[in-house]
C-alpha cells in the first residue's frame, strides 16, 4: 500500500522545555481512515501540527505522499495536508460560502472557470452547492462545519485531518458528516474523543499516550480491550458496547 503519511522517530519539546512527543512512529496508507485517540495532554495536537509544518524543529522525520515536511516542500505540503479545525468559525471569514471555498485555490493561482469548477466540486462533495451565495454566519453549526471541510477539499488534499469533527453536532448533522467522510477519496486522520464515531468511521485507530504511540490496531479491538482503555484514560459512553456494533 502506498503511504500517504510516514512519521519516524518524531520527538518535540516546546521552548518552555515541555516534551510533548517522545519518538512517534506511524504509517498511514493512501485512502485509509484512521482515528487518533488519546487523553488530553497526550500530544495529539502537537503531532497534527507537524503534519503540515506548522511546528518544526524537533527530532525525526515526517513524510507526506513521499515529500519530506521541510522548508523546501512547505507550499506543496500545505496543499496536500488539509486540517479542519474543531470550530468552523476559525476557517470561515469571507462574505459568502463561495468566496470562503475559493480563497485557498485562488491564492494558489486558480482563476476563472477553473476556479469556479473547483469550488462547485468541493461544495458538491459536502452537499452545500445550494448555499454558495449565503453568508456563512447565516448557516447552522453543522452546515458551517461542512463548508469548512469544503474549503479544505477545494485544495484537493492528499490527507484530510479532522479535529473533533463530531463535536457540537446534533444527531442528524453527525450522521450527514459521517456519510460525507465515508464518500471521500482521500486519506482521513480523525482526532477525536468520540469513540463511537471513531468506531463508525475508522477501521483503524492509534492511541497516542504520553507522547508515544501506545497502540495501533482495528478500532473495535482497541475499544474492547478494557485494560488498554483504562491505562490510557479512554472511556466509552455509558451503555455503549463496541462489541455489539457490526464491523
Q: Give me the domain span that covers residue 150.
A: 3-244
pTM of the complete model: 0.91
What is the C-alpha separation between 235 and 168, in angstroms, rounded? 19
Q: Which three cell numbers, joined as nine digits, stand for 177?
A: 458528516
pLDDT for res 239: 81
β 59-64/3-13 pair status? antiparallel
How far are the Cα atoms of 57, 74, 111, 116, 154 from residue 49, in angstroms, in the given order? 12, 13, 29, 30, 20
State percent of the chain over pLDDT 70: 99
Asked if 5 contacts 27 with a C-beta cutoff of 8 angstroms, the reply is yes
Q: Which residue from 7, 6, 150, 160 is spatially nearest to 81, judged by alpha carbons?
A: 160
User: Helix axis angle, 112-125 relative to 141-153, nearest 10°?
Assistant: 130
What is the C-alpha separation between 239 and 217, in angstroms, rounded? 23
How far are the Cα atoms of 9, 59, 111, 178 from residue 25, in angstroms, in the given order? 6, 12, 40, 28
Q: How many helical (H) and strand (E) elements, i.e. helices and strands, does the chain have?
A: 9, 10
Q: Which three cell numbers, joined as nine digits, stand for 208?
A: 497516542
pLDDT per position as a tens digit, 112-156: 999 999 999 999 999 999 999 999 999 999 999 999 999 999 999
Contacts of 85 by beta carbon, 8 Å cutoff, 6+ apart? 91, 148, 163
Asked if 5 contacts 189 with a C-beta cutoff of 8 angstroms, the reply is yes
What is the total count of domains within the chain? 1
pLDDT for res 200: 93
What is the C-alpha separation between 183 and 177, in angstroms, rounded? 10
Biggest CA pair distance of the chain: 57
Secondary structure of residue 221 in the 3-state scheme: helix
Asked if 243 contacts 224 with a C-beta cutoff of 8 angstroms, the reply is yes
Q: Which three cell numbers, joined as nine digits, stand for 125?
A: 462533495
Q: Which residue from 110, 44, 26, 135 is spatially nearest to 83, judged by alpha carbons?
A: 44
CATH number where 58 lies: 3.40.50.300
pLDDT for res 246: 58
pLDDT, block means (10 residues), the chain with 247 residues = 90 92 94 94 90 88 91 90 91 94 92 94 95 94 95 94 92 92 94 94 95 95 94 88 74
Q: Which residue from 157, 229, 240, 165 is spatially nearest to 196, judged by alpha carbons?
A: 240
Contacts of 31 by beta carbon, 8 Å cutoff, 6+ apart? 4, 185, 186, 187
Amino acid at each position: 500500500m502506498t503511504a500517504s503519511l510516514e512519521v519516524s522517530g518524531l520527538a518535540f519539546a516546546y521552548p518552555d522545555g515541555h516534551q510533548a512527543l517522545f519518538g512517534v512512529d506511524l504509517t498511514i496508507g493512501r485512502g485509509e481512515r484512521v482515528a487518533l485517540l488519546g487523553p488530553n495532554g497526550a500530544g495529539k495536537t502537537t503531532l497534527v501540527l507537524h503534519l503540515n509544518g506548522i511546528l518544526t524543529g524537533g527530532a525525526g522525520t515526517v513524510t507526506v505522499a513521499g515529500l519530506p515536511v521541510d522548508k523546501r516542500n512547505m507550499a506543496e505540503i500545505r496543499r496536500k495536508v488539509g486540517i479542519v479545525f474543531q470550530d468552523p468559525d476559525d476557517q470561515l471569514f469571507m462574505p459568502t460560502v463561495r468566496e470562503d471555498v475559493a480563497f485557498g485555490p485562488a491564492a494558489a493561482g486558480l482563476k476563472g472557470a477553473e476556479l469556479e469548477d473547483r469550488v462547485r466540486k468541493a461544495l458538491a462533495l459536502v452537499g452545500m452547492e445550494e448555499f454558495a451565495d449565503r453568508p456563512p454566519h447565516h448557516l447552522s453549526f453543522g452546515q458551517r462545519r461542512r463548508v469548512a471541510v469544503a474549503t479544505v477539499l477545494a485544495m484537493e488534499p492528499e490527507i484530510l485531518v479532522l479535529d473533533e469533527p463530531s463535536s457540537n453536532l446534533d444527531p442528524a448533522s453527525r450522521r450527514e458528516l459521517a456519510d460525507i467522510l465515508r464518500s471521500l477519496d482521500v486519506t482521513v486522520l480523525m482526532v477525536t474523543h468520540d469513540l463511537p464515531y471513531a468506531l463508525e468511521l475508522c477501521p483503524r485507530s492509534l492511541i497516542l499516550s504520553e507522547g508515544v504511540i501506545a497502540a495501533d490496531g482495528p478500532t473495535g479491538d482497541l475499544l474492547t480491550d478494557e485494560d488498554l482503555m483504562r491505562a490510557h484514560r479512554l472511556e466509552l459512553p455509558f451503555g455503549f458496547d463496541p462489541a455489539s456494533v457490526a464491523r
